[in-house]
Amino acid sequence: MKHIRLLFAAVLLTGCASAIAAGLEAFDFSGNVDEDRYKHLIVELRCLVCQNQSLADSDAGLAHDLRREVWELMDQGQSDAQIVEFLVTRYGDFVLYNPPVKPSTYILWYGPFVLLAIGLLVLVRTLKRRGKQTDSAFSAEERERLKQILGSDKPDGK
Amino acid sequence: MPRFVRYLAPLVAFIALAGLLYKGLSLDPRRVPSPLIDKPAPAFSLPLLQQPETLISNADFKGQVTLFNVWATWCVACRQEHPLLMQLAQQGVQIYGLNYKDTRDDAKRWLQMYGDPYLANAFDAEGRTGIDWGVYGTPETFVVDKQGVIRHKHIGPLTMESIKNDILPLLRKLQENDG
């Protein structure tokens, strides 16, 4: 049992090691390039080879190259926006995990709110109709009689 | 709301959703459309694979419709499309290669073994020209027109089908355009 646990821990740790290693090239952060800024940016960018990983996570060759590119552009003093622009002109909006708001992405950005609005509209209408129905289901006479019956049923209604 | 509308609404919604999902099945998320289509080919200047002292640039493509094929010896699918490139070269198509993140020795040996369909190969050891061209998976093949504008990008190995349906008709069309 103890051995199995140890083995399990070892396997987990191996996974960690490779995940960390992907982001750790020997870049020099003592100069122009701020490490936090660099790390923040590569998390926002998608690796095109393993598409559900960011540049920070991916160990693909292209991800290495693109990280090097990002670091060098930062070293040259380019802003985040300029670096993103550099990648978008080459690979398209697809490299961005945070897609820009523009006509082709309106449905992506505003679609959920439209659906929510439709849902609320349906809810309000349904509730209104239901309210009306309970009102008109019985005539005044019937309601009076109903009250009597229900009233006499109550355990403490005597 | 008339009753039949209320009964049909879920059916219509279902059909719309099913149609959307069905369309999604036939889309390949690995094919990322290139933003470089109909833009001037990114400039590069690289040593030739065979003669390191000589430089090749995209200016060398000008005046001819060109296939620009990105390949490497470590790329399995490149081997698969190679015979098709040989055929295209025999038909007189101008093919230049970008030997991507490879070693000269491996690449030269490959061309000796399997044949050389390329007029010349640019040697991109670090893959920087690859990045400028938006390459993310070899093989990739660009069609560049006489003015040096990218007209088409084929991602993945060329196939008989893609050559017959996409590449050759496009080459023919671009050939006819003078200028």
Q: Where in the sequence is the domain holding A125, given as residue range(s)?
A: 105-153
- The CATH number covering residue B56 comes to 3.40.30.10
Question: Cα dist. B63→B46, B59, B145 in Å?
Answer: 20, 9, 8
Task: Using the structure block, give the residue that is written with the tokens 């995990």.
Answer: A97
C-alpha radius of gyration, chain A, whole number: 31
Q: Is residue B50 assigned to a domain?
A: yes
* Kind plus residue range of the DSSP H or E element containing B25: helix B3-26
DSSP SS3 for B67:
strand
Both A116 and A87 in one domain: the answer is no
Q: Please check whether residue B13 lies inside any domain of the structure.
A: no
B20: in domain = no
Is A83 found in the same domain as A125? Answer: no
Other Cβ atoms closer than 10 A to A146: 11
A114 and A71 co-located in one domain = no
Query: Is A158 a member of any domain?
Result: no
Domain identity same for A90 and A16: yes
What is the count of residue pairs from A and B with beta carbons less than 8 Å apart? Answer: 41
Same domain for A130 and A77, yes or no, is: no
| Domain assignment of residue B8, yes or no | no
Please report, in angstroms and rounded to a whole number, the separation of the first and last CA atoms in chain A: 70
Please name the residue that has the structure tokens 């719309």: B16
Cα of first residue to Cα of last residue in chain B, in angstroms, is 62
pLDDT of residue A157 exceeding 50, the answer is no
Convert chain A into a string of H (helix), E (strand) and C (coil): CHHHHHHHHHHHHHHHHHHHHHHCCCCCCCCCCCHHHHHHHHHCEECCCCCCCECCCCCCHHHHHHHHHHHHHHHCCCCHHHHHHHHHHHHCHHHECCCCCCHHHHHHHHHHHHHHHHHHHHHHHHHHHHHHHHHHCCCHHHHHHHHHHHHHHCCCCC
pTM, two decimals, is 0.75
Residues of chain B contacting A65 with CB distance shorter than 8 Å? 126-128, 130-131
Q: Tell whether B98 is covered by a domain.
A: yes
Asked whether B106 and B119 are in contact (CB, 8 A), the reply is no
| The domain boundary residue, chosen from A81, A100, A119 | A100
Are A34 and A88 within one domain? yes
Q: Any idea what the CATH number is for the domain that residue A58 is in?
A: 1.10.8.640
Contacts of B9 in chain A (CB under 8 A): none
Q: Which domain holds residue B95?
A: 32-176
Rounded Cα gap, residues B74 and B83, in angstroms: 17
A105/A101 Cα distance (integer angstroms): 6
Q: Is pLDDT at A24 greater than 70 in this prediction?
A: no
* Phi, psi (rounded to 5 degrees) for B31: -90, 95
For residue A53, which amino acid is it?
Answer: Q
Per-residue pLDDT of chain B (179 residues; tens, 9 = 90+): 677 888 898 899 999 999 999 998 888 877 888 889 999 999 999 999 999 999 999 888 888 899 999 999 999 999 999 999 999 999 999 999 999 999 999 999 999 999 999 999 999 999 999 999 999 988 999 999 999 999 999 999 999 999 999 999 999 999 887 65
Domains held by chain B: number? 1
pLDDT digits (tens, 9 = 90+) for A92-141: 888 898 888 888 889 989 999 999 999 999 999 999 888 776 655 677 88
Name beta bridge partners: B56: B46
Stated length of chain A: 158
A27 touches chain B (CB under 8 A): no
Structural domain count, chain A: 2
| In-domain check, residue B17 | no
Nearest CB partner across the interface for B127, out of A65, A91, A92:
A65
A88 and A12: one domain? Answer: yes
The answer on A109 and A96 residing in a single domain is no
State whether A18 and A79 are in the same domain.
yes
**Among positive and negative, which fits the CA dihedral B175, B176, B178, B179?**
negative
Nearest C-alpha in B relative to A60 = B136
